[in-house]
Amino acid sequence: MNEYKVKPEDENQRIDKLLTMLNRNYTRSQIKGWFDQSQICVNDHSVKANYRLKSNDVIKWTLPEEKIPSIAAENISLDIVYEDADVMIINKEKGMVVHPSPGHSSGTLVNALLHHTTSLSSIGEKERPGIVHRLDKDTSGLLVIAKNDTSYSELAKQFKDRTIMRHYVALVHGNISHEKGVIDAPIGRDPNNRQRMAVVDGGNQAITHFHVIESFRDYSYIACQLETGRTHQIRVHMKYIRHPLVGDKKYGPRKTFNLNGQALHAKQLGFYHPTTKEWMMFKTDLPNYFKRAMERIRNMY
């Protein structure tokens, strides 16, 4: 159930128009169908699509259940950094979606994993076998995959206890004036755009540590370490301190490099092996798209 309290600036607006803004994955005609099925109410009463909103009205609505097709194994090449009976470490390429979802029923990391192995944890949602954590589609780098339920539970506990080590590198706009810093700012759904996250009062605690590796006049090459793992955390936090990621058209400026997404790479991943309890550390080289962006920046000066 979704809920939204009408703000003074929303007053006298048609409810179907506001809901179209709050549910950008759906068309106005689809949302009209929700009214026909009585899936929307205001102050616990059904209303019509042309209802004019009043300040402090409480809108509640239920999104229709979206069915995801059965997941097929697909022969997709994977960069497997490490594998044993319990875990796999994948170096995910930029542009690959981690698991199936509406609009991405094939070509995902999960489709590739199902072709590679029959041993994947069944804990969690059925379209996410073995997936303990995720990377955005256009973020490249290291992911750990759980090959059985025991491994999944052990790794999930490490994420909860914040003992997993995750180091990223990123290219950001602007010359950061200080060598290092900590961003401790809560993240939640952007109230003005439900497709984005933002630093908001009442959001989930989010902490990002960063330090500058190399500075340029208009750009910085930085390393980030996550203490928490919120959706789009690095992208949102760097925008918050006015240094959005290069290539990130969702959170950054329109005038940026055309990289088909943000310059963000999960470069290091460390955790305790779920069975042996041995500390394991994995590192990757910078991917080619990232190297080319770095070279382009260096050639500017």
Tens digits of per-residue pLDDT, 204-234? Answer: 999 999 999 999 999 999 999 999 999 999 9
User: Which residues share a beta bridge with 208?
Assistant: 183, 226
The pLDDT of residue 153: 96
> What is the length of the chain?
301
Lowest mean pLDDT among 51-55, 102-106, 143-147: 102-106
Does the structure show a pLDDT above 60 at 165?
A: yes
pLDDT for the residue 174: 97
- The confidence score (pLDDT) of residue 171 equals 98
Task: Locate CATH 3.10.290.10 in the chain.
Answer: 2-61
pLDDT on residue 28? 76
Q: Give the confidence band of 189 by pLDDT, cuts at 50, 70, 90.
A: confident
Which residues of 9-55 form beta strands (DSSP E)?
Answer: 40-42, 45-46
Q: For the ranges 11-15, 100-104, 128-132, 246-250, which has the lowest average pLDDT?
A: 100-104
Percent of the chain with pLDDT over 70: 98
Could you report the per-residue pLDDT of 35-93, keeping only the tens digit for each? 888 789 999 998 999 999 999 999 998 877 655 567 899 999 999 999 999 999 999 99
As annotated, the active-site residues are 136
* CA atoms of 126 and 71, how far apart (whole Å): 9
What is 70-161's CATH number, 3.40.309.10, 3.30.70.360, 3.30.2350.10, 3.10.20.740? 3.30.2350.10
Of 72, 71, 49, 52, nearest in space to 10 by CA: 52
The residues, any chain, with a CB within 8 Å of residue 246's CB and separated by 6 or more, are 170, 171, 172, 173, 219, 252, 256, 257, 259, 262, 263, 293
Residue 194's pLDDT band (cuts 50, 70, 90) = confident
**Most distant CA pair in the chain: distance in Å?**
62
Range in 35-49, 133-147, 171-185, 272-286 the model is least confident about: 35-49
What average pLDDT score do residues 168-174 get?
Answer: 98
Q: Are 231 and 194 in contact (CB under 8 A)?
A: no
Q: What is the pLDDT of residue 25?
A: 67
Name the segment(s) of the chain with CATH classification 3.30.2350.10.
70-161, 162-301
| Confidence tier at 127 by pLDDT (50, 70, 90) | confident
**Mean pLDDT, range 196-208, rounded to an integer:** 94
Mean pLDDT of the residues in the chain: 92
The answer on pLDDT for 185 being more than 70 is yes
In this prediction the pTM is 0.78
What is residue 39's predicted lDDT score, i.e. its pLDDT? Answer: 84
Q: Give yes or no for residue 301 having a pLDDT over 90.
A: no
Identify the pLDDT of residue 175: 96
What is the homologous superfamily of the domain 162-301 according to CATH? Pseudouridine synthase (3.30.2350.10)
Q: Which two tokens stand for residue 244?
A: 């959005």
CATH number corresponding to 2-61: 3.10.290.10
